[in-house]
Structure 1
Amino acid sequence: MAKKERRYFFVAKNVKTDNGYTIEFLNIPHVSASGVTYAETVYYSYRALSDFLSQLPGDEAALTAYTLSGIPENTENTFYSIVSVPGDFNPHKMTTTFTIAQTLPDEIRNQAAKLSHLVEYDDKPLASNHA
């Protein structure tokens, strides 16, 4: 059986703005990223998180102080995700999982539809929110 790699989990606040997106980590002050497309912003946030984690002392307690402790509910133009980070902090191996509250199937579909409209993976500039 293959040995599982240690992973750490961080809560990210994702906001769709008039000019693109911002991502900040709830338990890590001053670590954030912004970009025009969501994919670009995720990439920048992974790099910023990797840089921050690489500068921490080598003990587990220093690292886990910044890990997942809770997730607020999604709101208008704001949604939360969980960023999974490998033990070597390699940003190319980080992954994001979107959060949707457990509820009735119709409400889950409604939340997923709202989330999918907030996340745009193409390279086109965002249209005005009035469109």
Structure 2
Amino acid sequence: MAKATRRYFFAARNEKNAHGYTIQFVNIPQLTAQGVTYQETVYYAYRVLASFLQSLPKNAAALKAYTLNTIPDTDDPNVFYSLVSVTEDFDPHQMMMHFTLPQAPPDEIKRMAGQLAHLTGTEPTP
């Protein structure tokens, strides 16, 4: 049986804009990553999050203050929220971005997934 690895979850606000993308952590607003492509921005987001987490005191309370507790609502078609999962060692190479879609009929899930795929494409919004 494989050893389970504990993961911490952080909510991220993703925005597609005229210059590319911006990712900001909901509970750590001073952490921001910007890039031209979505993949580049995710990479930078993982690096700034890892650096921040490694600077925290080595206790669960310090870390828990920044983990997921709510995700804001948005009506902006260029903004979506995701979850970043982080292993206990805060290794940015082990971080993963998770996209969430609410429970809905299959056609609505396809529509939302298509919208998410469009937002994570490589073209900046004009």
What TM-score results when the alignment is normalised by the length of structure 2?
0.93
Change (3 A) 1:127 1:92: closer
Q: Distance in 2 between matches of 1:73 and 1:93?
A: 28
Q: Distance in 2 between matches of 1:63 and 1:128?
A: 35
Unmatched segments (≥5 aa) in structure 1? none
Q: Distance in 1 between matches of 2:78 and 2:47?
A: 23
Aligned positions of 1:105-120 closer than 5 A: 105-120=106-121
Deviation at 1:104, TM superposition (A): 1.4
Partner residue in 2 for 1:8 = 8
* Structure with the larger RCO, 1 or 2 (CA within 8 Å, 6+ apart): 2
SS at match of 1:31: strand
Change (3 A) 1:40 1:25: same
Deviation at 1:7, TM superposition (A): 0.8
Q: Distance in 1 between matches of 2:10 and 2:4?
A: 19
Deviation at 1:3, TM superposition (A): 2.2
Does residue 47 of structure 2 align to residue 57 of structure 1? no
SS at match of 2:33: strand
Instruction: Say what the alpha-carbon RMSD is for the aligned residues.
Output: 1.4
Aligned positions of 1:45-84 closer than 5 A: 45-73=45-73, 75-84=76-85
More strand as a share of residues: 2
What is the CA deviation profile of residues 12-71 of structure 1, one whole-angstrom value per residue up to 9, with x for unaligned ones?
Answer: 000000010000000012001000000000000000000000000000011011101122
Q: Distance in 2 between matches of 1:128 and 1:77?
A: 8
Report how many aligned residue pairs link the two structures: 125
Unmatched segments (≥5 aa) in structure 2? none
Identical pairs, percent: 54
SS at match of 1:30: strand
What is the CA deviation profile of residues 68-107 of structure 1, one whole-angstrom value per residue up to 9, with x for unaligned ones?
Answer: 1122345410011110001000000000111211111111
SS at match of 2:28: coil
